[in-house]
Amino acid sequence: MGKLYMVATPIGNLGDITLRALEALKNADAIFAEDTRVTKKLLAHFEISQRVFTYSEHSHRAALPAILRLLSEGKSVAVVSDAGTPGISDPGRRLIKEVAARDSSFEIIPIPGPSALSAIISLSDIDLRAFSFFGFPPHKKGREKFFRALSPMGMPVILFESPHRISRTLGDIERFLGNRYINIGRELTKLHEEVFRGAVSEAKECFSGSRARGEFVIIIGDSFPSAG
């Protein structure tokens, strides 16, 4: 029976890759990657020689027949994103939905590992026994509606953001949600890893200019933490 492996890969530090991930990548009959150039560098580092094909949201329809054919032949297919866990704001959900609907005999196997989401949670001083995760905010259409909807959530909210929009997003958080207490992880697991804890107004000053670089994870607290 065909096996589809959803493989988590490092978000920065290559030492975070798991033994199961290496095994799945080595033994896969084919690897489908969000960006083949990124994945080939990863494979070269670990001396893995394997066929790599493109699978992204834009290439879903083109790649799907090849993936289904391989699974129908009893082959194993590994899917990876540029970094982190497929399906968490990365390609994966549509593929899993269609593979599961086509043939229930196909095995869909998670290979868990690095994730910016779990990394920032492990570093947070905000109570995250309950939280909502929304991935990346809309770039244009629906952006104001998106942020207005976060205000009455009543629990912490976690977002991803790119260096190009971090300043704008922090401004929108302050505008629509107020000067909340937040945590921000920048370049997690990488050389210039940084964790900020404080008010949105302070974060706006902190992450400006040259420090508005890298990938960001934001936790928006419901209120400022009480002392003790």
Exposure of 135 in the CB half-sphere (CA atoms within 13 A): 10
- Start-end of H helices in the chain: 19-27, 36-45, 60-72, 93-102, 116-123, 143-150, 166-177, 200-206
Looking at residues 10-29, what average pLDDT do you find? 97
The distance in angstroms from the start CA to the end CA of the chain is 55
CATH fourth-level superfamily of 3-111: Tetrapyrrole methylase, N-terminal domain (3.40.1010.10)
Range with the poorest average pLDDT among 140-149, 185-194, 209-218 = 209-218
For residue 91, name the pLDDT band (cuts at 50, 70, 90): confident
Looking at residues 30-38, what average pLDDT do you find? 96
* 116-220 CATH pick, 3.20.20.80, 3.40.190.170, 3.30.2350.10, 3.30.950.10: 3.30.950.10
pLDDT at 223: 67
Q: How far is CA 56 from CA 39, 63, 93, 95, 221, in A?
A: 13, 8, 11, 10, 32
Pairwise CA distance, residues 151 & 153, whole Å: 6
pLDDT at 164: 92
Exposure of 66 in the CB half-sphere (CA atoms within 13 A): 17
Pairwise CA distance, residues 89 & 32, whole Å: 17
For residue 227, name the pLDDT band (cuts at 50, 70, 90): low
Q: Where do you find CATH 3.30.950.10 in the chain?
A: 116-220
pTM, whole model, 2 decimals?
Answer: 0.90
Q: Where do you find CATH 3.40.1010.10 in the chain?
A: 3-111
Looking at residues 45-62, what average pLDDT do you find? 93
